[in-house]
Amino acid sequence: MRQSGKESPMKKVFIFGYYGFHNIGDEAILEAIVAEFQKVMPEVSLTALSYKAAETSRRYSIEAVSRNHFVEVVRSIGRSHLVMSGGGSILQDVTSSRSLLYYLGIIFLAKILGKKVAFYGNGFGPITRTPNRWLVKHIINQVDLLTVRDEESREVMERLGISRPIHVTADAAFTLQILPESEPVQLDQVQRKVGISVRRWKNQAVYLPILAAFADALIEKGYTVFFLPMQPPADTQVSKELMNMMKYPAIILETGDTPHKMIQVIAGMDFLIGMRLHSLIFSAIAGVPMIGLSYETKITSFLKLVQQPCAGDVETLTYEQLTKTTDAFLVNQEEYRRKVKTHQQELKKKAAENALMIRSFLLEGEESK
């Protein structure tokens, strides 16, 4: 991204998020952000915070800094005109407080250094611990521009006492395109296909056997079951554990951490059963109907947004509940497909608003010079 002219010095943006961990959803977010910046702000220089900085730099042709090199992180923030939280659900304390405090620390440091700070279609919450809620309220109220990906995130922010204007857009990944690639060989000549995305979570000793029995029932109905790891190797391992509980064979399809390939795979499915949020988002991008398995409110919030069914919370999931939801879904599968395609276009437009709002904010006053 080159400087456009002497009269308008190159702007530098530091992006932080859960990058470099081979999570396909978070890599999709960063890929979409880079592409949107190249489209509407080619004069802006991007630097991303990453667990694997060299890999991120090569992959996206941008600068990157290791999240473990504190001095370099401080220098990158100091050189930036804007510090930006680049999507995802990084501001929550359900998994741990450590990552929440880390990201809040970046925002706090940026404000100490006098930097503008913005959110780019973030998910938000839940924040459950009282000290964390106090910190979030006081630090996020210093953020200059807030865009979030859904109404649920806005409502959680407002309940915490965040008084800044909050703009509801959509997840950045919705601006990704389906590439005209051929399907993997494993999908050739398979007539009825269902994709299943699972991850480790509380009470997995209960929900994994339920999913195994349910996958067997789908195979008995004539479907081929494909497990789709969204964050290998962790999701690959839990998929293998699930398959070991099954009577019939299934297939694990790994695409690495390549969002476009996973979207293409999902596009070839009849429907998706998803636990990972971005498996559901990818399904919507591909125009494929879905059934969600909730482990956090972000799952149910997204399913409501695209009018797709939820089979329940994985911590209390029953085989009967899952079967009943799926039977009703299959009767109305084409209606669900129509709904998801309708919302797909709406969310793509909203996701594109993120970059346009950032551009207006970042370059405020520049065009009048």
Q: Which amino acid, one-letter code, is at 119?
A: F
- Supply the pLDDT for residue 10: 82
Report the run of H or E that residue 167 belongs to, with start and end.
Answer: strand 166-168
CA–CA dist 10, 335 (Å, integer): 48
- State whether residue 259 is helix, strand or coil: helix
- Which structure tokens are listed for 61? 């042709």
Query: ∠ CA 307-303-231 to the nearest 5 degrees?
Result: 145
- Supply the pLDDT for residue 186: 52
- Supply the pLDDT for residue 178: 74
- Supply the pLDDT for residue 246: 98
- Which long-range contacts (C-beta less than 8 Å, at least 24 apart) are formed by 243-248? 243/212, 245/208, 245/209, 245/212, 245/213, 246/212, 246/215, 246/216, 247/216, 248/215, 248/216, 248/219, 248/220
CA–CA dist 184, 268 (Å, integer): 10
Rounded to the nearest 10 degrees, the angle between the axes of helix 24-40 and helix 333-362 is: 50
- Supply the pLDDT for residue 185: 45
pLDDT tens sequence for the chain (369 residues)? 444 444 456 899 999 999 999 999 999 999 999 999 999 999 999 999 999 999 999 999 999 999 999 999 999 999 999 999 998 888 888 877 899 999 999 999 999 999 999 999 999 988 999 999 999 999 999 999 999 999 999 999 999 999 999 999 999 999 997 766 544 445 667 789 999 999 999 888 999 999 999 999 999 999 999 999 999 999 999 999 999 999 999 999 988 778 999 999 999 999 999 999 999 999 999 999 999 999 999 999 999 999 999 999 999 999 999 999 999 999 999 999 999 999 999 999 999 999 999 999 987 745 433
Write down the H helix ranges in the chain: 24-40, 53-60, 70-79, 97-112, 130-140, 151-160, 204-220, 234-244, 259-267, 277-286, 297-306, 319-331, 333-362
